[in-house]
Amino acid sequence: MILITGANGHLGGATIDFLLKKNPNTKIKALVRSEEKGKDLKAKGVESAVGDYLNYDSLLNAMKDVETLLLVSSSTIGDRHAQHANAIKAAKQAGVKHIVYTSVLGGNPNSKFSAGIDHYKTEEDIKNSGIPYTIMRNTYYADFLPDIIGNAIESGAIYYSAGDAKINFAARINMAEANAIVLADPSSYKNKVYEITSGNTYTFDEIAAMLSEITGKQIKYVDIPVEALKENIVKAGMPNEIAELMASIAESMKAGEFDFIDPTLEKLLGRKPVDLKDFLLNVYKK
């Protein structure tokens, strides 16, 4: 039995779909935060357990009869490391035999990305648990880029704070497929740490040029100070903590932390991952 956390989210949900496509008889349990959130999964024949990273007993209950755990990193702002630590402790107590964890590219405790430290500590906890593991260090989602691009197609400018650094964006759907490949045969990927990236890196100037070509409109990139970026996010109605998180992402990009290419995703998929140009074409071509 494979337990997928974050099963109602994008990455966990797509991983389940790939697992079922590979083998419709795969025994999957989905961790969801309410009965309601498990309804669509139930319709696909996926058993669900209601639980929360903040509730240890619910995790222990969910891990019953589970051999392999996909621990999708939490999206709840706050002490994510403590949330993940709960899941790892429950996995150990329940006798889980393999943990696959979705971390971040580089897994660097000194990253400018504020959640980097939580990912690093989680990786350490997993290694120290003695449970065999596979760590999928995902780069930034291409799917996240339209949020940064905002209304640039109308306004003609992307305002962001990544300087002239090159950044690797990969399609979340490719990452989900890679998760499913590992989960279907975890012993082949035992105690490995993988950097999960696409095959190319691009600057925001290059991204603006791609968008101009795709839309036929002139779009430029305007590099703004990170303080201005935070102000814009707060002005758009987002809470301060989200603005801080988003600013830290821009700073990590600007520092070149995501200027990295690794062949693992291509090897796992057996084909080239989606390139950002094709991803944007799919989103913005009318």
Ligand X SMILES: NC(=O)c1ccc[n+]([C@@H]2O[C@H](COP(=O)([O-])OP(=O)(O)OC[C@H]3O[C@@H](n4cnc5c(N)ncnc54)[C@H](OP(=O)(O)O)[C@@H]3O)[C@@H](O)[C@H]2O)c1
Q: Return residues touching ligand X (CB under 6 A).
A: 5-6, 8-12, 33, 37, 52-54, 72-76, 83, 102, 138, 140-141, 144, 172
* Closer Cβ to ligand X, 140 or 221, answer by number: 140
How near is the Cβ of 222 to ligand X at its closest, in Å?
22
How near is the Cβ of 87 to ligand X at its closest, in Å?
8
* Closer Cβ to ligand X, 213 or 266, answer by number: 266
Residue 102 in contact with residue 179, Cβ under 8 Å? yes
* Closer Cβ to ligand X, 156 or 273, answer by number: 273
Could you tell me how far CA 8 lies from the centroid of its own chain? 14
How near is the Cβ of 69 to ligand X at its closest, in Å?
13
Which pair of tokens denotes residue 194?
């993988």
* Closer Cβ to ligand X, 9 or 146, answer by number: 9
**Coil, strand, or helix at residue 101?**
strand
Rounded CA gap, 104 and 71, in Å? Answer: 13
How near is the Cβ of 253 to ligand X at its closest, in Å?
11
In 3D space, the residue among 244, 30, 265 whose CA is nearest the CA of residue 138 turns out to be 265
Rounded CA gap, 266 and 259, in Å? Answer: 17
Which residue's C-beta sits nearest to ligand X?
Answer: 9
Rounded CA gap, 269 and 267, in Å? Answer: 6
How near is the Cβ of 73 to ligand X at its closest, in Å?
4
How near is the Cβ of 275 to ligand X at its closest, in Å?
16
Could you tell me how far CA 85 lies from the centroid of its own chain? 18
* Closer Cβ to ligand X, 138 or 201, answer by number: 138
Q: List residues bridging with 100 in a β-sheet.
A: 70, 134
C-alpha triplet 182, 141, 9: angle, nearest 5°? 70
If one counts every other C-beta atom within 10 angstroms of the C-beta of residue 209, the result is: 15
Question: Residue holding tokens 């999928």?
Answer: 136
* Closer Cβ to ligand X, 212 or 233, answer by number: 233
